[in-house]
Every structure is written in C-alpha cells, then in structure tokens.
A and B are shown apart, each in its own frame.
Chain A
Amino acid sequence: MAVYPLKETKKAPQSQTKAIQWLKENLLSSTSNVLLTLTALYLIYLILPPILNWTIFDANFDLTADNDSCGREGACWAFIYDNFKMFIYGFYPQEELWRIDTMFGLIVVMIMFGSWIKKSQYRMHYIIGAFLVYPIAAFFLLHGGLGLEVVGTDKWGGLTLTIVVAAVGIVASFPLGILFALGRQSKMRIVKFISVVFIEFVRGVPLITILFMASVILPLFFSVGMDFDKLLRALIGITLFQTAYIAEVIRGGLQAIPKGQYEAADASGLNFVQKTTLIILPQALKISIPNIVGSFIALFKDTTLILIIGLYDMLAIVGAATSNSSWLGRNSEGYVFVAFVMWVILYSMSRYSKKLEVRFSTEHKN
C-alpha cells in the first residue's frame, strides 16, 4: 500500500488564440460546415449590398425634399420626417399632443422615482399604487374629461395606439392569466372546468377571429342604442386572447414547483392564499419570465392586426400616409421605418427579460 501526495492544479493548455480557435470550432469544423459557411457568406454578399444601397448610399437624406425631387433609386427619408408626427400620434389634434407626451413622460418619471427609492420599505406600496393610479391618469390624459377636451378613440393612432393596445393587453392579461392558471390547477371541479374551457376555446381560435367577433358579433348582444367603443371592444378581445396564453405559460411554471414546497407551506400552517402568494407564485413566475416576455413580444406584434377592424396603429399609418397625394408610392420607406421601430422596442423587451432572469438567479448566489 502507498500514500500519494496532493498534486498541484495546472492551467488548461492553450495553443491558439481564442479567435482562431473559435473560427475553427464553429465555422470550419468539417467539410459540410465549411460548405455551409461559404454558402452563408455568398447569400450575405447577395443580400446586404442592395439593402445598404437602398437605405443609405442611394438614399436621399434631404429632409426638405418632396416626393418628385427625392428620386426613385433609393429611400426618401423626407417621407418619414414629414409624417413623423402621424406615425407617433396618429390623428390626435395638434394642440393636444402635450397630453400624450405627458402620459409617456410620467412613465419615465415613475420609473426614475422607483429606482430612487429602491431600498425603501415603502417600495412595494409605491409599485402597487403606481399600477392602480397610473392607468386612470393615463385614461383621462388620453381620452379627456376632468376639464380636458375629449378626444375620441377614432383620433387615436400610430405608435401611441400600438403601445396603448399592447400595454393594456399586457397589464390586464397578467393578473387574469394568473387566476386562470390557478383555476386550471384547482381542486374545485367547476372552477377547473370553466378555466379549461376558456383557455382551450381562446387558444383554439386565431386572434383575427376574436377581433372580428369583438367588433362585429359582440354588439349584437347589446341593445341598439348601446354602441360601445370600437377600441374598447378590440382591447377586450386582445386581453382575453392574451389571458389564455399567459395562463398556459404560468401553468407550466406552477407544474415545475416541487411537491415538497406545497407540503412545507402546508406544514407551516399557511392558508391557501398565503401558500399561493408567498411560496408558489413567486417561484412559478420566476421560472416563467422568459416565456411570459416571449408571449408579450408576440402580443406586441399581434397588435398590428387591429388595422383590419379599422383602427390606425403604426402599421396602418403607412397606408394612410402614402394615400396622401403628396407622398404616393413611398410604402417601402414606411414599412422599413415601422419594422425598425418595432425591432428596437421588441429587442429592448427581450434584453430586459434577460436582465430580469440574471437578476433573479444571482439573488440566490451572491
């Protein structure tokens, strides 16, 4: 028998620089991989130059140009500049635009104030209060009343409308989704039955159908004089649609919670509500963050569908702007611009979700 001394730890061998090693491993590891790399490079060579030429090199950046002086070989960005307000505010009256600016400005102020009182014990009160008060303030700012001139929802449009629809859909569907997810897990037969029927019905129907139903069929149920707002109907439809998806996402999170967590909560004497809100939901929601945000991103994109029931979201504004005789035929610029704005917003949402994930996971490790 023998006794062996402890050995020293050594660094792993590194023969090549990291960049070359990365190239070799990821792009040139086999014959088929080399072929794929070459094909991809060729495709990029085909596609990229025309795009860059149209958007930048051949484009006209003269913001005072009109449709004729702009030229047709490249993009005419004066179109966007000239219609910028319409893209952002829709047909909202000029002299009332400050109300929309205030509404968005308030959000920035609220977030800044929220991060300023990060350590305060009243932070939770503030967040809950903000979520209750802000929608009311935003409603009166946008719609009017309380001394402000009323601006009908037919005047709302552009990015403002896109954000309003998406935000209402997201904020309203989240708590409802939690309720339906819990309902589907419930031991009470009726609650479970209603939840399952609702979720499976809504998920089995395309959003367009729900929007049509909300705008055409729903009014049939109400008496003739009671014609309620087209936008409100769309909001209800979108919220119901999103609720079903969020419910399923959260149900996935709930199912990932080990049985032991329920037992420990029960054994401690917590009642059902305490067990759900203090132990189960915080863990289930944390697991679900990537899928919840993914679902919200999908919703944000789906809001463009409201144009088919005659609401002017940012995408529909392209049509409105190019039907103006002074900017005929500039649809491409409009669609590229809308795509770019959408991408900036959605990519930010996706990055924010990553940040949230990291924050919640490091909370357990530092």
Chain B
Amino acid sequence: MSNPTDDRLCCDIIEIKGLNKWYGEFHALKNIDLTVKEGEIIVICGPSGSGKSTLIRCINFLEKFQEGSIVVDGTELTDDVKKIRQVRSEVSMVFQHFNLFPHLSIIDNLTLAPIWVHNETKQQAKEKALTLLDRVGIKDQAEKYPNQLSGGQQQRVAIARALCTSPKIMLFDEPTSALDPEMISEVLDVMIELAKEGITMLCVTHEMGFAKKVADRVIFMDEGQVIEQNTPDKFFDNPESERLQLFLDQILTN
C-alpha cells in the first residue's frame, strides 16, 4: 500500500506494522499496515464492527494489541507505562459520547490535563483554555457544567479539551454519531477549521461530506482489514473494490 504523495506532507508520524488484535477468539484487527504522515488528515470509514474504532484506539493504547508494532512520533508502544504516557501526551482523543468529566466545570475539564500531566501553571492553563473555548465558540459557558450544555456544545468542549495539551495528533472516534442531526454541522465546522491548521488527524466517521472536503486520504475497513484507501475523489468516484461500492451505495442513498 503506497501513500499518495503530497508536497505538504513530509515525515511519517505514525507507523503501524503487522497489527493484529483479538478479543478472546474474535480476530478484530487482521494484519494492519498503515503509515500516517505529519499533518495528514485521514478519514476511516466502514460498516460497524469493522475494527475502525479499535484501530485508532490502539494508537493511544486504550486497546492492547497482541501482535505487530505501533510507533508514534518515534516512540514504540509497549506495556511500558512511561512510553504509553509519552505517546498519550502527544495524542488527544475525541469520543463518540464526549466523555466530559461531569463533576468538573467546563474550564476545569480543559485545564485538568495541562495542569496535572503537562505541569503548566493554573494561570497559563486557564488562559489557553479560554482561547480554545473562544475558538470553538463557547467561551461564555466556561463556568457551567457539562450537563448544562447541548450535545453539540459538549462535543465542541471535548475538542477544545483535546487541543488543550497542544497535541501533535488528534483521534476522532465517531465524533458526530451521538449528536442530534441539527447539531452535527457545528461540530464538523470546528473539525474543518482544525484540519486547515495542519494538525495530524485520524477521524472515524461516516460524514462523507467532511471526508470530501478535508481528507488527504480515505480508508475503508471491513472485517478487521483495510480493504481500500485512496484520495477522496478517487475513493468516492471510482471505488475499486466491490465491497466499498456496496458500502458507498448504502450510505449515500439514504
């Protein structure tokens, strides 16, 4: 599998080789090879149970894997707690169900990791948090608690929280799947803005409009394997594999 070339993209930041994962007897990821360049925007799609969430959750070691190797920005992921923390300090994640901390105010949600993991002062962390909240358009809600916000607002807070530690890589695990339809666009707008800034992004999503607009590469997974990957225009206009054609037919017609 070769990556599409692009002048903007130079160095490999994630290297996944021969990745295999089992849940008990179930073979969830089958021999995945994937290289991501710095600044690349990758969209991963596929039917449910295809292993796409599992794949990106392996990158920050929320899921353990049994075979293969993952190197993130020069650090190889092993059971070593130090290496895991090293990788997690550079990789942020946005979850399907937001997973904000309900007992902390919005601003405390954002400053938690900078203060405790990255040893920033409260003042520094707070200033940065307010800037980020301003960017996602909810600065005036900083003192509120997560449950007082709408789903779309909560997800934007979650994105701001993920950005607060100045990560090199952002992982999005179906960020719009749990949202009411009228709130999807406000979250996608934030993600599109982010994509333009050159941060490395891996997004598991079914928002094909988003993929067409910003992705450098779209990956189709099924049954734990990468079936096809291509630039967005080729991916959508000339799908090569039968399974991708079928999948695109299904999600684009309804």
Contact = CB atoms under 8 A, between A and B. Distances in A.
Interface of A: 258, 260-261, 263-271, 274, 278-279, 282-283, 286, 363-365
B148 A365 contact: yes
A267 B93 contact: yes
Which 8 pairs of residues, A with B, have the shortest CB-CB distance? A264-B99, A260-B99, A268-B113, A269-B88, A269-B117, A267-B93, A364-B145, A269-B89
A268 B85 contact: no
B192 interface: no
Contacts, number: 62
Interface residues of B, number: 25
B26 interface: no
B176 interface: no
Interface string B87-118: 01101110101011111000000001100110
B147 interface: yes
A271 B62 contact: no
Contacts of A258: 99
A264 B96 CA distance: 11
A364 B89 contact: no
Nearest to A264: B99
A264 B171 CA distance: 12
A289 B112 CA distance: 25
Nearest to B93: A267
B95 A260 contact: yes
A278 B112 CA distance: 9
Given A270-B116, A270-B117, A283 B85 contact: no
B116 A264 contact: no
Interface in B147-173: 147-148, 161, 165
Contacts of A266: 60, 62, 88
B97 A268 contact: no
Contacts of A282: 103
Contacts of B113: 268-270
Contacts of A286: 103
Contact of B102 (A263, A268, A274, A364): A364
Nearest to B86: A269
Contact of A264 (B95, B117, B148): B95
Given A270-B112, A278-B112, A365-B148, 18 more contacts: A258-B99, A260-B99, A261-B101, A264-B95, A264-B100, A264-B101, A265-B101, A266-B60, A266-B88, A267-B91, A268-B88, A268-B113, A268-B165, A270-B116, A271-B81, A274-B116, A282-B103, A283-B102
Contacts of A268: 88, 92, 112-113, 117, 161, 165
A265 B62 CA distance: 11
Contacts of A365: 145, 147-148
A263 B61 CA distance: 10
B39 to A, nearest CB: 21
B17 to A, nearest CB: 23
B148 A269 contact: no
30 contacts: A258-B99, A260-B95, A261-B101, A263-B62, A263-B99, A264-B93, A264-B95, A264-B100, A264-B101, A266-B62, A266-B88, A267-B62, A267-B93, A268-B112, A268-B117, A269-B117, A270-B112, A270-B113, A270-B116, A271-B85, A278-B112, A278-B116, A282-B103, A283-B102, A363-B145, A364-B103, A364-B145, A364-B147, A365-B145, A365-B147
B132 to A, nearest CB: 15
A271 B165 CA distance: 15
A38 B249 CA distance: 71
A222 to B, nearest CB: 42
Contacts of B95: 260, 263-264
